[in-house]
Every structure is written in structure tokens, then in C-alpha cells.
Amino acid sequence: MPPFDMVDLVRAKRDGLELSAEQIAWLVANYTAGVVADEQMAALAMAIFFQGMSPDELAALTSGMVASGEALDLSGLSRPTVDKHSTGGVGDKVSLVLAPLMAYFGAAVPQLSGRGLGHTGGTLDKLEAIPGWRSQLSTSELLDQLETVGCAICAAGAALAPADRKLYALRDVTGTVESIPLIASSIMSKKIAEGTSALVLDVKVGSGAFMDRRERAVELAHAMVGIGHRAGIKVSALLTAMDVPLGRAVGNAVEVAEAVAALEGHGPPDLVEVTVALAQVMLELAGLEGDPRLALGTGAAMPTWRAMVAAQGGDPDAPLPGPRLTEVVPAARTGVVVRLEARAVGTAAWRLGAGRARKEDDVSPSAGVICLAKPGDYVEKGQPVMELRTDEPLRLGRAREALHGALEVTEGDAPTAVPAPLVLERVG
């Protein structure tokens, strides 16, 4: 590969020029190796933030990040492979329900997940509330579990797309996290490296999502779908609403309990609706058939959930950890709940100990918020509308501050307006 001058590449992108595939491959390889300095890559990231990237550049950047490490080979599995990725929200425990559900229908779901940061929760943090459950699997353990159980939810290995891990840390401290090309290539490099043949993207839109504007979410969805198609993966994206927490539980153990309830056939309607919508697209892309709503309603995927938890060292029958302290938030007036701010609830759960401000922070498995009332519910003044759970009493004050004005009640009876749709549109 011919050498390039990094300063020239930064200038070119700064001025709106398109970088070649060879230039991008060189810079990713040399940044990963430490030849390209952080300050130079930071300058390029900022140039990308303002100038964007073409589809060819996006494909080259993603390929470079995939090539920076190892890739999983799932071709030896007897099951068709399909995965799902969410851009993150509040109360988003869909993966916990969806992975065993798809495995029940005959798919292999290699769900390589992450941890929470800020107001959005992490799938691994939630599952670690289960006594004994472990997130680290070797490649042989992962392949065996995918073949026998049909699904695994685990941490990505350090060798998977290391360039993305290094670039993400740089973006976090340089104000370039919001760059759509950098978000798209980051997500897709890990999903391509994990070796799945099909992928469904759950792009969250709203106050509790990373993307609060629909047009930005659509742009991100198109970018990711385009990258996937170029890499030979069947990809489709659903835009789903995230103005209100999904389900009623926000935290770690509380979300596991709600996911189990959904798998047993009595999950909250909004969680079931989003899960079913994603499952239908996953079945389509994987070439499988089935009725996800019926399977959830009858508890058909529950044995698969139990097998997945047990295979990763967890005890599916063990009691989930409870908090040392609970406190209820009363309704300020009588009427109908018309708004429940997702970001505020997520922030409150984080402040109660369910989330982390820095990647190295610990989280409490028992902390969180239970939304006892949601939009459309009628409440009496003084009736509990939220339950706060924590192990540390000093955390309650800041959680209450986060929830100030988060729930709005209007006088009157049941609302006449049609509830806002949860699934907004499909891309790809």
C-alpha cells in the first residue's frame, strides 16, 4: 500500500474533496497501528463531521475498520444467521426478548452487545443482573451456543474491529460523536465483523434517543443500510419512536424481569409491538416463517431464553436483586397522563445507579425506575406514578430533580386522540 501524507488527507476532507479507498485503507491501518497521531485523526474526524462522506468513502472506512481485526466465521452453522442492532433508548430491552424468539424460529442470533452510558441502558449490564451470568464467551463457546441454543448475547472480543474502538474513544472527547458517517461506520463495522448474513436495525427517534429528529434518523438508517448492502449483507432498518420509555421498567434487573414477562406472554403492549415488528423483518431477511406475536403470547420462546441464560452460566430461576430503598413519585393532579419524557426517566435511572457517567463506572443491578403510569392512563392526585429504586439514599434527590416536569397530566377523562405510532417507517 503506497504511503500517504496525513496532513494532505485532512486538508482534502476539510475542503470537501473525496478520499480514495486506498487513502482511507491506509489511514485506518496506520491509525490503528499508532503511526497516525490522535490529533491528526481528531482533525480528520472534525472535517468528516462538517463535510460528510460519500457512499464510497463510507464503504471504504467501514471495510478498513473490519480489516483492522478479526472477523467471526459463522458459515459452518446449520441455522441461518440474523442479528438486530438498536441505536439505544430508554427501557429498550427488546434484544432480551428478540434473540430467544428468533432462535425459537430456527435462526442463529449472534448478538454482540455493549454497555450503557448516560441515560441509555446497556444490554450486558441488564443481563449481568442475573446471578452467575457471564458476558465473555470464547469463539468456540459462541459458535457452539449458536448451533445448539440458537442465540447468544455477549460482549464483542477485543480483536473485533479494534480501529472502531480506538476511533470511538477519540470521537467521545472531540465533539464528533454525532457525525452520521462515523456513527454508521462504527455500528456496521462491528456487525459485519461478527459475520451475520442478515441484520435489522432499530433506529430510535425521539427525546430519549440518540437521534431526536426524524430526518437525521432517516439519514443514519440509509447510511447503514447502504454500507450493509455493499458488504453483501441483507439489511433493513425500522425507525421506532422513543419519546416515551419502552415498557414500564427502566434499569437493569427490572428490565430483565419485564423481558421475561414478555417471553411468558404478558409483556407490556408497546414492548411487544416493537419486538414483533422487528421479528417480522428478521424472519423475512433470514428466509424463515413464523408468527412472532403468537409465539410471544403462548410463551413458546421461554425455554430458549432459559437455555441461553444457563449456557452462559446464569441461573434462570434465581431471584433478581432488589433495591435497598424504594420511593414513589405521586401524581400532582387528577387527570390523564399525556406526556412522559423518556430522557428524563433514563437520566433518573442513571442517577439512581442503573447507569454510568464513564465507561469504567460500576452500575447497580437493582437500581431503576418503574413507570406506574404512562400516556393514556388516568390517575388521581397523589396516586403513585413512578417508583424509584436505589441502593443509596443520597441518589434520590438528583433523581427527583431529573423527573421534575417529566410527567404531564391534563384534566379530563380518557384521551380521544389516537396513540402515536411506535413503528414510524422502514428503510431498505
Provide the annotated active-site residues: 85, 164, 171, 186, 190
Angle at 140 between CA 137 and CA 146, to 5 degrees: 80
SS3 content of the chain, % helix, strand, coil (to 5): 45, 15, 40
Instruction: Return the C-alpha cell found at 4.
Output: 500517504
Q: Helix or strand or coil: residue 316?
A: coil
Angle at 161 between CA 156 and CA 167, to 5 degrees: 110
Q: Is 239 exposed, middle or buried (0-12, 13-18, 19+ CB in 10 A)?
A: buried
Helix (H) / strand (E) containing 178: none
Count other C-beta atoms under 10 Å from residue 117's C-beta. 18
Residue 212 per-residue DSSP state: -
Phi, psi of 117 (to 5 degrees): -150, 125
Cβ contact 363:354 at 8 Å: yes
Phi, psi of 369 (to 5 degrees): -130, 135
Closest CA to 118 of 391, 339, 342: 342
Closest CA to 90 of 306, 339, 342: 342
Cβ contact 180:221 at 8 Å: no
